[in-house]
A and B are shown apart, each in its own frame.
Chain A
Amino acid sequence: MALSREAYRELEGIVGKENISDDPALLDCYRYPLSHTAIHIGPYYRVYTPRGAAVLLPGSAEEVQGIVKLCNKYRVKFKPSSTFWSAWGFPLEDDTIQLDMRRMDRILEIDDKNNFAVVEPHVIGATLQAEAMKVGLNTHIHGPGASCSCLASATALGGLGPDTLYMGHHNENLLGVEWVMPDGEVLRVGSVGSGLGWFCCDGPGPSLKGLVRGMIGTNGAMGVFTKCAIKLYPWPGPAPLPVEGKPPAYKAVLPDNFRVYTLGFPAWKAWADSCYLIFDAGIGYVAHRQFSMFGRDLKGAMVRILSDPTKTLSDIEELLKDPEVQKMTEDMKRDYQIVLAGMTPGDIEWQDKALDKILEETGGWKVKAMLEPDLYNWSLLYMIRLGHKNLNLVYGGGYDGCFGLGGTPDFGASGEPPRVEQATAFKVEWEKKGNVVACGGDAMMGGIGGMGGGGHALWENFTHFDPADKASTEGTFEFFNATDKYGMEKGFGPGMEKMNDYARWTDGKTTPKEIRDRILGAAAQPEAFRYQRKFKETFNPNDLGDGYYRTLDDPIE
């Protein structure tokens, strides 16, 4: 059912004529191409998310509240999104109202005594980090990078990233939320709800953090979060970042209390052991298997290209013939990057010694080529600002992660051969078919220390393809189907390649109920989704969200 003129006029009355549109071409800007990368359901060649009924740009929580109440009055679904990274933020059904939260973009407060910031939805990692650094603080920037909404990652998505080792998952950093609930009422969750400030999401006051976001988040399917408080962490460096160089190869020379290393290891067991030793030692500021996303065979050449403003992808074949690049690539085969940040001179001295000891114990090394000033200063800036995160799309325009070997650091590293090598060998065979980039099979990227400073690692095997090429897109999809089957057979558990099948289906719309029920019913803890149904019945009585909120209809056992 299209939006009635009456409803449109009432919505226009709330946000003003300049902040609402139902022009078809404009609405098509709010559709996500599932040919590209559907994170993680496709890719489907030339399939788009549905066209909305209208797009609105609310400017305040009061306007959001008015919109949501009208949506309840007219029984129209609504979908809020802040920075629109991936298909999650786009409607699942035709004629949904898309809320673009862009106008709500203020940093309302940075409390440098209690280490938190209060932000609106469209504040991004780069701007919050820049402002926090001015007062000696820093913010976690989650995996998709500095372009993405801090609020969305803290309230409505997973929120893990390279600096999770030191700054946690964003769900851990959430200290309070202003929530326009699906029925249009406003609830302030945590201590702020009792008028005590934004210091704790679990009270004193209404403690609904688990319901509001849980571990994975509600993906914009349960009302609208209009502001939140985020925990900040110490930043022992300069503000602003002293960036130099020509684009796109910007670099930063930071003071002597910073280090960035690419560490290499002789075996996967040594790789995993080093992670545990780093957790035990409590060292590190950022730690991520980052540049491996370009692929085991190509990453040496790629970091050379990316750190040199005169080079382009056309240089890759020549660079691959260079013996020094080949040596560097081999040194980086089993690697990750780590940033050390010393809070005092003594601290960085101690962290250096601890790291050297860890390398001595595991037989690891600092990759020499990555210590050259250009590469060193480039990779240091890259890891701290995460301003180049969409380089995962540089090859052909499309990527998606598969396998997603999540678990303890030795989960991927153990097995015979190690699971990471099994996954690599499997992908290499598919690379021979020509539809995905032949990068050496292992393009596994991920943090080494999620979950509050340790204990969890992720191996998301990047698969690069061309979304404008039908054969490449469809070949990638076939590969993902095979990967899914292989991973389950091998006991790797459910991979990332299908993790949103429960919500969005091949036509870009809501997954059919019988398939959704089958997927969610087979999950490790389906009872959680039955409880969520009860939550939805209570908080979202008119069912105006979408299938990204996971529920099962059968009774709680």
Chain B
Amino acid sequence: MALEDYKVDMERCSQCSYCKWIPFDQVKSWRFAKGCPSIAYNNFLSYSARGRYAVALSLLNGQSTYSDRVVDIVYKCTTCGSCDVSDKICRYNLEPLEMIHELKFRLVEDGQVLPQLTAVIEHLGKENNMMMKSGANRGDWAEGLDVKRIPGESAEVLFYAGCRFSYDEELQETARSAVTLLKNAGVDIGIMGVDESCCGGRAYDMGYKEEFTRLAENTIKAWTAAGVKTVVTPCADCFRAFSRLYPPLGAKFEILHTVQYFDRLIKEGKIKFSKTIPMRVTYHDPCHLGRQGEPYVPWEGKEKKVKNQIVVYEPRRPRYNGAWGVYDPPRDVLKSIPGLELVEMERIREYAWCCGAGGGVKEAYPDFSSWTATERIEEAKSTGAEAIVSACPWCERNFIDAINAAGEKLKVFDVTDLVKQAI
């Protein structure tokens, strides 16, 4: 699809403002009713899905041209997809998140880029990671781990650590724990270590589609050559890239997030807990595991009209609105840990507030990114929880940074960390 293909959506958008809020049925308070971090922080209408439709239409119609403000509007979006869920409460046929991606792609094609993102992407092109680190050190996180190395050895399941867990020294232990837990539960698991490269998902959300495609095709090729059938990842960003963005490029692998695998193993009795963790925690749904973690459904078709002017699709088009994301497995894992009390925030599941780390925002707009994380931390604190738990290293890093900057006491855990503690 090209940006022009969304012109009918731009004209059909009714300016209802739903894109700015969580679904109204789910509003429980004034304080935590907002859904889109971008307009919540920037306030002008242009920083909402509706606004981006209008900006795109203005550009396509030649009514305006690129400016610093336009670049700011387009890139200051975490691509969290909150708008996509809320819009589809009423507007079944709009695809705001897809359009925002296309708008970013167009700006990159036209050279309207941010230097902060250019630097990341240039490094990615050379070293195949998003962390501005040497590709040669990608496997260091697993040093000393007794685990198979693919492709030299074969394993039933590939553990894919992802860039953040591979390089973030404060978080690496989580990845090591995940491998150990899976292995001890009897899973025949292997890692690619230095041969693993970035999934490309974050480049996609920044607007660099070509770079994403290069990385995705390389990964698909490497996995295919190694005979990989099943991939498990502890990173929500990677999970969404593999499960939603790779299949259109021909990928046919079973993709699981570690929380899904843990949930399965706990229910099968292959992971058993022996310790109590007397702690009250709240769970943050990562956008890419929750609302954007729905399974990919192949579709090729076209729009048609029935009853004169009702817009439908032939064949029936899948609707991605967060209904079938991964929400229960992480909660079930946490609930199964002895002593742990799970309390919910107001904005959860498909209408969870974003952590603020996505879409290139953490790299290009650190203040906005930090504010978004702080909003979530305030919401977590309002539950009385001692810790915020998640299933994505990017969310966890952003929370840790915001908590440290504010001098807060809230603890941050990955689900894996608590599973390990309880064994």
Which residues of A does B touch, CB under 8 Å? 19, 21, 23-26, 28-33, 35-37, 46, 55, 57, 83-85, 100, 102-103, 107, 123-124, 126-131, 134, 145-148, 240-241, 243, 246-248, 250, 252, 298, 309, 312-317, 381, 385-391, 393-398, 431, 434-439, 464-469, 472
- In the complex with contacts A24-B58, A396-B311, A387-B33 CB distance below 8 A: no
A123 cross-chain contacts in B, Cβ below 8 A: 30
| Among candidates A314, A389, A395, A397, residue contacting B316 with C-beta atoms closer than 8 Å | A314
- Residue on B nearest A129 in the bound complex, by CB: B27
Cβ of B11 under 8 Å from chain A: yes
Cβ of B17 under 8 Å from chain A: yes
A313 touches B311 (CB 8 A): yes
A147 touches B17 (CB 8 A): yes
- Residue on A nearest B48 in the bound complex, by CB: A29
Cβ of B310 under 8 Å from chain A: yes
Which residues of B from 292 to 333 have beta carbons under 8 Å from A?
305-314, 316-317, 319, 321-324
B91 touches A30 (CB 8 A): no
Can you report 23 A-B residue pairs in the complex whose CB atoms are below 8 A from each other?
A: A23-B67, A25-B59, A25-B70, A28-B63, A29-B51, A29-B55, A35-B11, A36-B13, A36-B14, A83-B17, A84-B15, A85-B16, A126-B33, A130-B28, A146-B24, A246-B323, A248-B88, A248-B89, A386-B24, A387-B23, A396-B309, A398-B14, A436-B308
Binds A, one of B38-46, B240-248, B268-276, B376-384: B38-46
Per-residue A-contact encoding for B53-79, CB less than 8 Å = 1, 0 else: 011011100011101011001000000
Q: Would you give the shortest CB distance from A55 to chain B, in whole angstroms?
A: 6
| Among candidates A25, A31, A241, A391, residue contacting B69 with C-beta atoms closer than 8 Å | A25
List 7 other contacts, CB 8 Å, given A85-B16, A250-B23: A29-B44, A36-B12, A130-B28, A246-B324, A247-B85, A252-B25, A298-B307
| Among candidates B24, B44, B90, residue contacting A55 with C-beta atoms closer than 8 Å | B44
B263 cross-chain contacts in A, Cβ below 8 A: none
- In the complex with contacts A313-B312, A387-B25, A247-B89 CB distance below 8 A: yes
A274 to B90, CA, bound (A): 31
A147 to B14, CA, bound (A): 13
- Residue on B nearest A48 in the bound complex, by CB: B63
- In the complex with contacts A130-B27, A385-B24, A57-B308 CB distance below 8 A: no
A24 touches B50 (CB 8 A): no
Grouping DSSP codes into helix (H, G, I), strand (E, B) and loop, the A interface class, with mixed when no group exceeds half, is loop
Chain A CB within 10 A, most for which of B13, B17, B57, B63: B17
A147 cross-chain contacts in B, Cβ below 8 A: 16-18, 21, 24
A308 to B350, CA, bound (A): 16
B319 cross-chain contacts in A, Cβ below 8 A: 312
A217 to B204, CA, bound (A): 48
A127 touches B29 (CB 8 A): yes
A127 cross-chain contacts in B, Cβ below 8 A: 27, 29-30, 33
A465 to B305, CA, bound (A): 11
The 6 nearest A-B residue pairs measured at CB: A387-B24, A397-B12, A240-B28, A23-B69, A28-B58, A25-B64
- Residue on B nearest A305 in the bound complex, by CB: B92
B322 touches A247 (CB 8 A): yes
B64 touches A316 (CB 8 A): no
A393 to B18, CA, bound (A): 13
A472 cross-chain contacts in B, Cβ below 8 A: 308-309
A32 to B14, CA, bound (A): 9
B311 cross-chain contacts in A, Cβ below 8 A: 313, 395-397, 466
B33 touches A312 (CB 8 A): no
A126 to B23, CA, bound (A): 10
B307 touches A29 (CB 8 A): no
- In the complex with contacts A127-B33, A387-B23, A391-B90, A23-B70 CB distance below 8 A: yes
B12 touches A466 (CB 8 A): yes
- Residue on A nearest B66 in the bound complex, by CB: A25
A25 touches B312 (CB 8 A): no
